[in-house]
C-alpha cells in the first residue's frame, strides 16, 4: 500500500474515455470527436500545470507515440465505426425517437445539424416525422393546455409555444384554430 500513496491517479486512455461516453448514450462522430478533443486538451493542460519544466511547445500537440491529438481521435473513431460501436445513423434514430414527442421537425433537424449528422442521413428520418407532425403537435398541445383558449392573448401564447417547439407555423395554426378536428 505505501507505493500507491505517492502515485498520481492515472487518467483513462482515450479509447476507454470514448467507450465510457458511448456506454452512457449514443453520440454522433462529430460530437464524440469534440468531447475527446476537449478531454485531451484538459489532460494536457493538467500535465503542463503539474510539470511545467518538462513540457515545451512540441509536447502540446503530440503524445509519446508521436501522433497528433486529431490523428489519435480519428484512429479511435474509425476503429469504433468498424466495430459498429459508433454510428451516426443509430445516433440520429435515437435522437429522433427521444425528441419526436415534444419537438417538431424544424427543431429536431437543427439539433441533428448541430450534432454533425450528415443531411442525407437525417433526411429519411425527418420525412417520416413530417407525416405525423400535425398529430404530434396536437397531442403536445392537449397535454400542455387541454383546450383552445377563447382569449386572443392566450391563443397567441399557445401558438408561440408550439412554434418554439419546432412545429411548422401552418400546422400550429390548424391545431390552434381547430380546423382539422375530423382529420385524425
Q: How high is the pLDDT of residue 13?
A: 86
Here the cell at position 164 is 418554439
- The domains of the chain are located at 14-86, 87-131, 132-184
Give the Cα separation of 106 and 62 in Å (integer). Answer: 41
Give the Cα separation of 173 and 163 in Å (integer). Answer: 10
Q: How high is the pLDDT of residue 58?
A: 44
Torsion sign (Cα): 146, 158, 115, 39: negative
DSSP 3-state of 154: helix
Question: Which one, of 121, 11, 7, lies nearest residue 63 by Cα?
Answer: 11
| Residue position matching grid coordinates 459508433 | 86
Q: How high is the pLDDT of residue 42?
A: 86
Q: How high is the pLDDT of residue 4?
A: 46
Can you list the residues of the chain whose pLDDT is less than 70?
Answer: 1-11, 52-67, 178-184
Here the cell at position 117 is 449528422
| Residue position matching grid coordinates 500535465 | 47
Q: How high is the pLDDT of residue 5?
A: 47
| Residue position matching grid coordinates 479509447 | 15
Question: Which one, of 97, 172, 103, lies nearest residue 138 by Cα?
Answer: 172
Question: Do you know the residue count of the chain?
Answer: 184
| Contact partners, residue 107, CB within 8 Å, separation at least 6 | 99, 165, 166
**Can you give the pTM of this predicted structure?**
0.73
Question: Which one, of 158, 163, 95, lies nearest residue 133 by Cα?
Answer: 163
Give the Cα separation of 166 and 124 in Å (integer). Answer: 18
Long-range interactions of 124-128: CB distance < 8 A, separation 24+ = 125/92, 125/93, 125/96, 126/96
Contact between 21 and 32 (Cβ < 8 Å): yes
Strand partners, 62: 68
Amino acid at each position: 500500500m505505501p507505493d500507491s500513496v505517492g502515485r498520481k491517479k492515472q487518467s483513462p486512455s482515450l479509447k476507454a474515455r470514448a467507450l465510457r461516453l458511448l456506454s452512457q448514450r449514443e453520440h454522433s462522430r462529430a460530437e464524440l470527436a469534440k468531447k475527446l478533443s476537449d478531454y485531451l486538451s484538459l489532460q494536457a493542460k493538467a500535465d503542463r500545470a503539474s510539470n511545467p519544466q518538462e513540457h515545451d511547445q512540441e509536447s502540446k500537440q503530440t503524445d509519446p507515440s508521436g501522433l497528433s491529438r486529431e490523428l489519435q481521435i480519428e484512429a479511435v473513431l474509425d476503429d469504433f465505426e468498424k466495430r459498429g460501436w459508433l454510428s451516426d445513423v443509430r445516433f440520429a434514430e435515437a435522437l429522433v425517437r427521444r425528441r419526436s414527442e415534444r419537438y417538431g421537425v424544424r427543431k429536431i433537424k437543427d439539433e441533428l445539424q448541430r450534432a454533425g449528422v450528415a443531411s442525407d442521413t437525417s433526411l429519411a428520418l425527418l420525412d417520416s416525422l413530417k407525416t405525423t407532425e400535425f398529430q404530434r403537435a396536437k397531442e403536445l398541445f392537449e397535454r400542455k393546455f387541454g383546450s383552445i383558449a377563447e382569449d386572443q392573448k392566450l391563443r397567441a401564447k399557445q401558438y408561440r409555444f408550439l412554434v418554439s417547439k419546432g412545429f411548422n407555423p401552418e400546422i400550429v395554426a390548424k391545431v390552434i384554430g381547430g380546423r382539422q378536428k375530423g382529420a385524425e
